[in-house]
Amino acid sequence: MHFELTEEQKMIQEMCRRFTEKEIKPVAARLDEEKEHPADLCRKMGELGLMGIAIPEEYGGAAMDYVSYILAIIEISKGCASTGVIMSVNNSLYCFPVNTFGSPEQKEKYLTPVASGKAIGCYALTEAGAGSDPASMSTTAELNGDSWVINGEKKFITNGNVSDYCVVAAVTNREKGSKGISSFIVDSRNTPGFSVGRVEEKLGIKASGTAELVFIDARIPKENLLGEEGAGLKQMLTTLDAGRLGIGAQAVGIGRAVLDEAVEYSKTREQFGRPISKFQAIQWKLADMATELDAAELLLLRAAWLQDSGKPFEKESAMAKMFASDVAMRAAVEGVQVLGGYGYCKDFPMERHMRDAKICQIYEGTNEIMRLVIARNLFKQAKN
């Protein structure tokens, strides 16, 4: 078993580390406070190849592996979790399905601008009545001549308010149940009948827009069907497996930021005549954080390696996302505790980390659903 990163993986990790220190950290608090989409950062990340890391170069990507992708998301999210999730959704939830299921013509037209960072993509799945149970979605798509006509509303769509292109899941044959769901590529800027509805006010990741997308007789070209009709649920599950790695990496990045800041603060904060880093109670908190974050990162790297190797990784992806997000939340709570009153104030980034960490336990499949996915795979393995 070999744990050493390749030179290319070390290079992307170090590049992202430098970029985060120089470009992201100085503006992260302002982006959060003003709820501002980091358009300039996204453009620069595109120039560095970070908005389509695992996409072939012919379609605007960097042609790197998913281990590199995990390392990059961790470093970016250490500086700003909002920027990290924008990058994750662009890579995992838009670029991945278009690259995996799209035709060469679709990739050329709809993947290249997003993977290169010149445009932003999103993935419209969740609805008010269809979150953990996507098969119950009500959005429909009907073929009318040379167009698909989409009607429905999607909720909680990351990047939805700023996206140029969107992968949308809709029911094309209600009688077939879950096998009657299909996926489509929508040009968000040039589709009559499409509009952005409510942009949510959120606890955390405030620089990342979370929007309602509305389709009222929205007409898209017939050729914008992604893959085969009726294959939407299968595409969706595969896409979410990949997406969970990005969210797990975001969580580890938040946790790493918490740990770094807690360690530095404990070395300078004095109580009873000595730094609080000398107290066992503080040391144990930091030790637990460090141990759990290393374990979470190893789970993520294992799942990414499986994906790179073309092996099944559904269970491992769910494990990594679930564990990493729980670890990040525990670390954030303890990080605030280490800083005491300062951890509760906006003068320090710690309170932002705590707000940002919570969503990682919810999106890309709640951690309760992750446990169901893991258990389902265990029983499947037991049958074999």
Residue 188 CB contacts under 8 Å (≥ 6 apart), including other chains: 122, 163, 164, 165, 166, 194
- The span from the CA of 380 to the CA of 373, in Å, is 11
- Residue labelled with tokens 């078993």: 1
Distance CA 42, CA 233 (A): 30
Q: Which amino acid is at 124?
A: A
Catalytic annotation on 364? yes
Question: What's the full length of the chain, in residues?
Answer: 384
Spatial CA neighbour of 365 closest among 321, 310, 331 = 321
- Which residue out of 75, 212, 316, 364 is catalytically annotated? 364
Residue where the block lists tokens 């992708």: 69
Closest CA to 87 of 98, 100, 73: 73
* Closest among 137, 171, 136, 178 to 154, alpha carbons compared: 137
SS3 content of the chain, % helix, strand, coil (to 5): 60, 15, 25
Write out the DSSP string of 302-318: HHHHHHHTT---HHHHH
Catalytic residue set? 364
